[in-house]
Amino acid sequence: MVRRFEDILERVAEHDPNSDQDLLRRAYVFSAREHRNQKRRSGEPYLVHPLEVAYILAELRLDTASVVAGLLHDVVEDTLTTIDNVADYFGRDVAAIVEGVTKISKLNFQSTEQAQAENLRKMILAMTHDVRVILVKLADRIHNMRTLEHLKPEKRERIARETLDIFAPIANRLGIGKVKTELEDLSFRYIDPLAYRSLESALAARRKVSEEFIEETRKRLEQTIAEQGIEAEISGRVKHLYSIYRKMRAQKIGVDEVYDYVAFRVLTGSVKDCYGVLGIVHSSWRPVPGRIKDYIAMPKPNLYQSLHTSVMSDRGQPFEVQIRTHEMHAIAEEGIAAHWQYKEGAGDSDREQDRVAWLRQILDWQQDLQDPREFLELVKVDLYPEEVYAFTPKGEVLCFPRGATPIDFAYRIHTEVGNHCTGAKVNGRIVPLKYELENGDIVEIMTQPARTPSRDWLALARTSKARSKIRAWINQSERESALALGREMIDKEFRKYKLSPRKLLEGENLAQAMEKLGFKNLEDFQSSVGYGKSSAHQLVSALVPDTQKLEERPDGRVKRAVKRALGMREKGVKVQGLDDALITLARCCNPVRGEDIVGYITRGKGVSVHAVHCPNVAQLMFDTDRRIGVEWGSDSDGSTTFDVSVAVDVEDQPGLLAKIVSAISDESTNIKNLEANAETTGSETRVLFVFSVNDRKHMERVFNRIRQINGVRDVVRVPAVGAHNA
């Protein structure tokens, strides 16, 4: 739909019957004439753009000068008109806004940090002079973002990034919730189109259920609140995409786990009624502990006020309820824009003064701080509430994502500091490693040479640097234990055949054997044995020319490898009524031949076969249409094998691991993976093994062998680990 000038006039007249219609009309005619031969990238006449921008400003119910400036905002930049012309025709007030917008348009926020700081400073300076400058600029950005598809992809991403980094946070800080929300969703769409589309379709798939749920819950809310004699306006919606996406990224969760993507808003006539409604909500649904936020008593820095609570529906679907007065709602949606609504300058409430005070404060800072980077740090604290700024004892500022812990801080300083970190002092007080950093914290990391990273740290680290360094350390230390284990197993193998490793593993001999086995050096082979990927016996065969003389142990490995190469990849499962269905054994339970199994038709991945005891089966089986009967087929040649993941809890004593490994090997079982010291509590260590068995009986034999070893406390099956170290 093409926006007509009359639409703008109507909008303005709605909230300001005394507006200067003549001024608006002259601005429209002027803009139309100045831009007459220009076209937008979309091919439309350029005038469409100032008309849309002016309409957005009228929707924000801003004063006439702002709307006029919206019509004229590009004339100085894109035509021969000067600021003086604008001042002559439309007055100083309008000219000052247009000049500010023109200046901001020339700033480049993609440049180096120093230049970016300087530019942000200029922009904030323009804002503090007259906030309407930034309001017009935001309206300009909204329309440009709405029509971004007409630009080249590189340019789209750059503008979207700038919008998300600079303009959405400013809209948020100025309390203009509806502008912030729109800018975030539009930016998200162009910055990560794939994530945007997949999230959009995931929510679309839930739409029917969500809509029914929203309508049902809304009605019930309305009824219960009315019964208590409170007048309220209630609406429900699915939260905006970017806020869901941000939550998913921050908590590393899937759409299904996003806690409460449905939110209800209850608008009341008084603060007292807000608390009344909160009570009603909590007596109708079970509140989720720790999720009640009282922003009425404690407004956010941008003066946002509301009560938030999350409750559990009868169906187990959590949802959020936001409760506020109509006035608070107007402030939440329009923020500082409210200051220029209705009559110019009049109606200054204390709150609006506060918001302007934020700008004044920034103006003061920028006079005090000569280093633009220091200024940027200060402004960032206010503009980016999702980031946390903490100091080193020497006063250096480091920036972290919210939720970061001393572990992130330690790795930021140095990998070695991270690897030996034992705890931290924050503002002089000792805190645990799980402590979440807050703005302004002075953090001093404590280290001990003997301390090393543990797997638990991965759950505490928020930054990718810390996480990757912790992983690297764990992999390295696992390699070391695999190496030690491999050495021990090879020694044992040599002893078994009364061979002397010292003689056999010398010079040429060794080099030839390594080449035969395809390893660079002995150490690589040893760790491969330790990980269970190679067997010690392979080395013996490679070193002793006439292995026939040695007593050989049965090894099914070669035979099985041949079978696999010949394409016999079926797992010996037959699906009812389907001859050659694609079958996968579910990784959550890894069923083994002989166990009771059920099939479940997946989307695009054929039939997934679960063991009946698998906890996921209970969930999947709600969908009876997709359930399908399966049974184990015959396995005449015993060629199929099944991977079993087990956790063995052992007392921490030397040599025990080797005993378990040889117990497993003695049952002609291949160890595919081994992860020692995964979790250690007190004197007990949990070791994770993955090995292959032919069937359930075979598996049980191996279990019994392990259980008989002195020092083994327990053997349990566990879900397959998503990523084997191999």
Binding residues for Mn ion, rule: CB under 5 A, are: 74, 140
What angle separates helix 350-368 from helix 113-129, to the nearest 10 degrees?
A: 140
State which residue, 74 or 695, has the beta carbon closest to Mn ion: 74
Residue placing its CB nearer to Mn ion in the complex, 140 or 184: 140
- Contact criterion met (CB below 8 Å) for 255 and 280: no
Give least dist CB 673 to Mn ion, A: 59
* Pick 150 or 495: Cβ nearer Mn ion: 150
CB-based contact 584:607 (threshold 8 Å): yes
The alpha carbon of 285 is separated from its chain's Cα centroid by a whole number of angstroms, namely 29
DSSP conformation class of 325: E
Alpha-carbon span 504 to 510, nearest angstrom: 7
The dihedral sign for the CA sequence 397, 402, 405, 409: negative
- Residue 125: CB minimum distance to Mn ion, A: 20
Q: Which is nearer to Mn ion, 74 or 260 (CB)?
A: 74
> How many CB atoms sit inside 10 A of residue 298's CB?
8
- Residue 284 CB, nearest approach to Mn ion (Å): 48
Q: Which residues lie closer than 8 Å to 664 by C-beta, 6 or more apart?
A: 671, 689, 691, 702, 705, 706
Q: What angle do CA 516, 521, 526 make, to 5 degrees?
A: 95
- Minimum CB separation of residue 87 from Mn ion in Å reads 20
Residue among 144 and 306 whose Cβ is closer to Mn ion: 144
Residue 367 class from Cβ within 10 Å (0-12 exposed, 13-18 middle, 19+ buried)? exposed
In angstroms, give the least distance from the CB of 14 to Mn ion.
Answer: 24
What is the C-alpha to C-alpha distance for residues 500 and 522, in angstroms, rounded to an integer?
16
Closest CB to Mn ion among 140 and 273? 140
In the chain, the amino acid numbered 644 is: V
Nearer to Mn ion, 69 or 543 (CB): 69
CA 354/CA 336 separation, integer angstroms: 10
Closest CA to 358 of 345, 343, 339, 330: 339
C-alpha–C-alpha distance, residues 463 and 403, integer Å? 10
Nearer to Mn ion, 140 or 320 (CB): 140
Rounded Cα distance, 176 and 59, in Å: 13
Element (H, E) at 399: strand 397-401
CB of residue 54 vs Mn ion: minimum separation in angstroms?
A: 11
Residue nearest to Mn ion (CB): 140
Helices and strands (H and E) in the chain: how many = 31, 21
State which amino acid sits at residue 663. A
- Closest separation in Å from C-beta 39 to Mn ion: 14
Cβ-contact 341, 179 below 8 angstroms: no
Candidates 529, 500, 498; CA nearest to 514 is 529
DSSP letters, 604-660, are: SS-EEEEETT-HHHHHHTT-GGGEE-EEE---TT----EEEEEEEEEE--TTHHHHH
Burial label for 635, CB within 10 Å (0-12, 13-18, 19+), is: middle
31 or 673: CB nearest Mn ion:
31
Decide whether 137 or 180 has the Cβ nearer to Mn ion: 137
Asked whether 332 and 306 are in contact (CB, 8 A), the reply is yes
CB 234 within 8 A of CB 219: no
Query: Residue 564 corresponds to which amino acid?
Result: R
Query: 217 near 285, Cβ under 8 Å?
Result: no
Tokens, residue 211: 């809509």
R_g over Cα of the chain: 34
Q: Residue 74 or 478: which CB sits closer to Mn ion?
A: 74
CA–CA dist 461, 715 (Å, integer): 31
What's the token pair of residue 539?
């080395």
Reading the block at residue 484, the tokens are 């030690």
Residue with smaller CB distance to Mn ion, 30 or 632:
30
Residue type, 89: Y
Residue 34 or residue 74: which is nearer to Mn ion going by CB? 74
From the CB of 473, what's the least distance to Mn ion, in Å? Answer: 52
Residue 99 CB, nearest distance to Mn ion (Å)? 14
| Closest approach of Mn ion to the CB of residue 74, in Å | 5
> Cβ 52 to Mn ion, closest distance in Å?
9
User: Measured from the CB of residue 71, what is the shortest distance to Mn ion in angstroms?
Assistant: 11
Interhelix angle 132-146/92-105, rounded to 10 degrees, is 50
CB of 72 to Mn ion, least distance (A): 10
Confirm if 342 and 16 have CB atoms less than 8 A apart.
Answer: yes
Spatial separation of the C-alpha atoms in residues 289 and 274, rounded to whole Å = 19
Q: Which residues are catalytic?
A: 77-78
